[in-house]
Amino acid sequence: MKHRRRFHPGKNRNGGGGGNNGNAMPAGGFPDDLALEEEMAEAEALGGTAVIQETVVNENGETVVITRPQAPAEPPKIIRVPDLKRRTAAELLRMAEEQGLENIARAKKHDLIVSLLRASAKRGDHIYTEGVLEIMSDGYGFLRGPDSSYLAGPDDVYISPSQIRRFALRTGDTVAGRVRSPKDNERYFALLKVDTINYEAPEVSKRKVSFENLTPLFADEQLKMERGNGTTEDITARIIDLVAPFGKGQRGLIVSPPKAGKTIMMQNIAQSIANNYPDVYLIVLLIDERPEEVTDMQRTVRGEVVASTFDEPATRHVQVAEMVIEKAKRLVEHKRDVVIMLDSITRLARAYNTVAPSSGKVLTGGVDANALQKPKRFFGAARNIEEGGSLTIIATALVETGSKMDEVIYEEFKGTGNMELHLERRIAEKRVFPAININRSGTRKEELMMDPGDLNKVWILRKLLHDMDEIAAVELLIDRMKQTKTNSAFFDSMKRN
């Protein structure tokens, strides 16, 4: 029996992935769809091992091609791209030096990751990745990483149009699977096999209902902020539970002038959600913020922190926001509870106003008449879903900044939320925190979330504080709350008094 042997490591006949940082590819830079599908099928059939392809002549004199797994000399290592991305640049540089890689002295973090992955692929290691899909206008897509706030980079993974059609993928889907290295004329790794979509089996994704077809309801399950540890931060959370409670599916606004403590309040709310509801998927979205505040938020919040700082262009702000909302929608379609904390919707609306084409109709303050349509769509996506799952958005709105545009933006969003929490400059100037204006803060349909007995006590408390000055009211409430560790104990003390 005559045969000749050809060896294919992972059967890399057609390389992996196209695109560059601007997602524009030179001709011939994409993998061939048919070849990629063949490799996917073989990877699934053979468990992702290296294969040997043999051409043999059978007993009937016919020439046939057989493919069989190659017996590896040693089990391949499993390399997970998210683990590499979580490492610092110094750690990656040390790993590259240990492996003897060259020309890495002043390389960027993304380039170091690509060099390490290429070296791993040459050794025959199995590389697995996870990322959020962004589908381009030409039909192909890339997996972006939340560690880089979904910014395009050299370590993005290419997904072919046929894979997108096969698994009914949409922008925002979180896809995990095995990738293969690019060939000589290609620049990007390509997805070889899909393991999970939105943290579930691919078969589940095909049966999901589109977000737009789900039934929105009022929030009816409260997200309690109280942690019961008696700390100063917990007092903020307990006051929110009383004066402006919010639940799963809430669309809330924190209305704040500058230096009134909105960022600290956002951190407290995020920490409470992460502590009390570990099953809730928490995303903190920072738009047009200072870099040091982004670092502080990343170190204090147990959740996904996505940011576009003030030195980024408006197009970047918009792209980050749209990736986050699409990811949240895809998770809600899988009946997950998602919370997005946006700081701030005012600056997001400013970014949309900058990138929107001029309609010729300009509102007061220089806001284009059509510019607020997309930020309203972002904010309006928050809803409690009858079929299961919810999307909660808590956004800050800036007032008293001296900008007429900011006032117009706030007025446009004022009636769209179903919860408002107002912070007062006068209270903050006296260094009383949280600087909450109790009378102006509140939640629509709070009776659907709160216990009837507790709701009645909250109404009595509001009547007692209504005639007082805003500063005196919040000072009295904070003073009484410091004497107890929980709101139930606070209500019991009210009853005794």
**Is residue 251 annotated as involved in ligand binding?**
yes
The annotation status of 239 as a binding-site residue, yes or no, is no
> Is 485 marked as a binding-site residue?
no
Q: Which residues pair with 306 in a beta bridge?
A: 285
Check whether 247 is labelled as a binding-site residue.
yes
Helix H, strand E, coil C: the string for 286-311 is: EEEECHHHHHHHHHHCCCEEEEEECC
Helix (H, G, I), strand (E, B) or coil at 128: strand
The answer to whether 263 is a known ligand-binding residue is: yes
Could you give the CA distance from residue 323 to residue 308 in angstroms, rounded to a whole number? Answer: 12
Was 260 annotated as part of a binding site? yes
Q: Was 250 annotated as part of a binding site? A: yes
What is the gyration radius of the CA atoms in the chain, in angstroms?
27
Angle formed at CA 15 by CA 12 and CA 18, multiple of 5 degrees:
160
CB 155 within 8 A of CB 188: no
Annotated ligand binding at 19? The verdict is no
2 has binding-site annotation = no
Strand duo 126-135 + 174-180: pairing: antiparallel
Beta strands in 107-165 (DSSP E): 126-135, 141-144, 157-159
Q: What are phi and psi of 354, to 5 degrees?
A: -70, -40
As a whole number of angstroms, the distance between CA 125 and CA 110 comes to 19
**CB-based contact 195:176 (threshold 8 Å):** yes
- Would the annotation count 124 as a binding residue? no
Question: Which segments within 275-414 are labelled E, that is strand?
Answer: 281-289, 304-309, 337-343, 383-385, 390-398
Instruction: Calculate the CA 310 to chain-centre distance.
Output: 19
Is 264 annotated to bind ligand?
yes
Task: State the Cα–Cα distance between residues 487 and 203, nearest whole angstrom.
Answer: 45
Sequence ranges of the binding site: 247-252, 259-264, 290
Sequence ranges of the binding site for ATP: 247-252, 259-264, 290
